[in-house]
Structure 1
Amino acid sequence: MAGFLGMVKVSDWPDGARPKSWREMILWLYPNGRASLTALLALAKKEQVTDYEYNWYTQTFPEQRGTFTAGEMYIEPILSTAVSGGEAAGETVYVKTTEAVASEFRYGHQVLLRNASDLTADVQSKCVAVVKNGASSYVACRLLEADDNGTTGTLLTADTIKVTGNINPQGGVTPSAISYQPTKFYNKTQIFRTPLEIARTLMKTKSRTGNSYKNLKKLALELHSVEMEWASLLGIVSENTGDNGQPETTTEGLITFLRNNLSSHVRDYKSLSDYSSATWLEGGDDFMLDSTELLTRFTDQSGPSNYVGLAGSGCLKQLERLAKQNGQIVLKPASTLGFGIKIRDWVTSFATIPIITHPLFSQETTMRDTMLILKPSNIIYDYIDDTRFYGQSGKPYGFTSSGKRIDGLNEE
């Protein structure tokens, strides 16, 4: 050993001589949010199903209306001569419509013929015949009043037809009925498996980050739940054959379901022409108001009408910018000093929507500016078997999928 002059310092120690100081355990960093990592599944009711394909029906309230092309109202059933405008009461006109629109009408219905841009031109009539013939279907209407109500418009410019009642004579027979069938929807269950593997030697090795097995088990269970959450949001329904020759199914997520069945409710501020010339601060308030009105236009009667908004941190930031732009901040003495705006509810005439930050939306950059508004009473988590942990019951060894022995645990 060579000698040296002066004070001995830490830097003079040989490599490995310092044991250093370690803080045990791991600092787990999670995406921030007021909701849990599995916010959607946490809000949903649970229901066990008996088959991997399950079905349900939705009945939409009949609109009893339709639109048609202005100028396609005729004076004879062969649909060749258009009305001229100014027809007299008692005359019959023939409104050319699609077969779907014609199916909303029956003999005896009181029918309003309207120009959507000029409500002064309304003309009331009685339905006297309905002919279904694809795109050349028609509704025959006998006018109850002359076509002289409008200041500028006439039946020549009418483009809307709507049921406004039904007309029956004294001592008349029962009219024909119109039936509406509910729409069938379906989805499939999905098997989620998250394995945990750890060598027996590692289980016996002391780690400064705590119990390795418990840490791996904690992470595996959390990843299992997070992957289920993403599938419940963005998955697609499919059925294929797995590598083992058995059925392999995936479930359709809520956002995917909306895109496929109610695309008008999937709204992107940047792609809507109504706001293309306005910045977010200029048009965002109108966008939110229009979206809320559209969302609440129809509702079901089966449960509470409470809505919840699951939002990313970027969406919440943009809503706060709107509030600061369009609101008014009043300073007043308080026991706790503070300044700013805290948005917890989005309040409109149509609904008050509590906004909860979804941590996965905040973590995923492409979802950070997204908000999903839903009614928890309408969300059901269907499963054949709910999540469970299959351990190896304390056995000193495990088996691989091929049945071979391994020196450790292989769990899920």
Structure 2
Amino acid sequence: MNRSFDSYFGPPSQPINVAEFLQQANSELLSESFTNASWEQLTPEHRNAVEAEINESVVFQTSSQSLDQVWDNPVLSAHVRRQHESTVASVRDQADVPAPKGRKRKRDIAPEGSESTPEVLQLQEELDAVNLRCWGLTVESALCMRAAKNSDYNALDAPKKMGTGILHTLDHGDVGATRSSTPDSLRGHSPDVNSHPNAIISLTVYNRITYLPSCLTRSSQYAVLSTQTLADLLRVLPCASSNIPIEVLDAEGDVSGYNVTDQIGEHAGCLFCIEDLVYGDGRETADYAQKLIAHFHKLPEDKRPQIKTAPTSASETTFNALTLRTHQPYWILHQGNCEHFFVIDQIRHAPFRFNSIKSLNIIYRLPHASDPLSGYPLMLHLTPTVQDLCRACGKVPAVHSIVGDMRLGESPCLLCAPCWRMMGPPKNDEGVMVVPLVIPFVNH
């Protein structure tokens, strides 16, 4: 059931033309004199009430340390985690919910005296002083609790620069903030009309589950610039199909080995299907888009998808030229039959902060000091890869698949490099083939 829930998307938003979104964002900011019209229409009493609610809702507003500092401190982070696990266990007991399947985790017990240290006591006092109560877990929360899955974890400890895209933003000298009664969190800034800022598009990539082809699982998440192309996105996708070694054929055309140094790469064709338009790879011969349309023409007319070939290829099409919908899955096909799906999570207008466009209902903001100015697309999330362990030692991931070796008792047999070296060369190596396994994406 959890797998099925992860494969449902939507409801999708209205179609958003990225270029029109950028143009409208600039024009509306200029026409509204960089203030929030809805805020100016409120009465002073209503403004004070909203400001009071915002101030009470800010966690750690008067704290002596930030959330990052708490998580970087092993003593404080362990205390927060134990408090959360205790709350979750209490909610489960009250709701009489069955315990999660699998091996029961050992309850983390605090070392003696660690809960009474001054820094832990100060942190707990600050947490107890927070007036926000809507995030507390109630008995009904047990209905939405589940054990963590592999796709919930992030293999990256920081956003990873995957490309060469540069974020164009406004310098502080070119931005003049208006002074009004609008709070800082709702106040906009004056844009430079001669500047051409980017839109930052956050998207998530999903793959089919091998043993459940009808279900999807999250693979990775990215932040791309509106000036980048679809091919720029495809180039940074971690995909085993793009890392398969090239087969070496003998005189009779049979596979005699594999060339580890040469891989399939990104030259085996691709297509993107976005809003009933197919963007192919742009090859002079029949590209993937033309082949897909030709395949659909073989279907009965009543079952034929109503899609058309786009006028530009994936390497020529920037996100600025697209009309997208958030929470709508779009299809990627490459390397023959390797499929991915990507979903637009958010479209942000890079150089402005916290003003909403009424017609599009999109949030855009100023870049934060921690936002990289180069290296786009940025990889924000990467699901850890589950690798097969060596069949001999059972401790480390396998890197070789040995085919036809009678000493191993099974064919193919997955082995790590040290175990295969310890085995030594077979006495009769005819028919024995060492197939290198695809090395998963690694955060260098």
With the shorter chain as reference, the TM-score category is: under 0.3
Write 1 or 2 for the structure with the bigger share of helix.
Answer: 2
- So what's the TM-score if we normalise by structure 1? 0.24
Q: Which has the larger radius of gyration?
A: 1
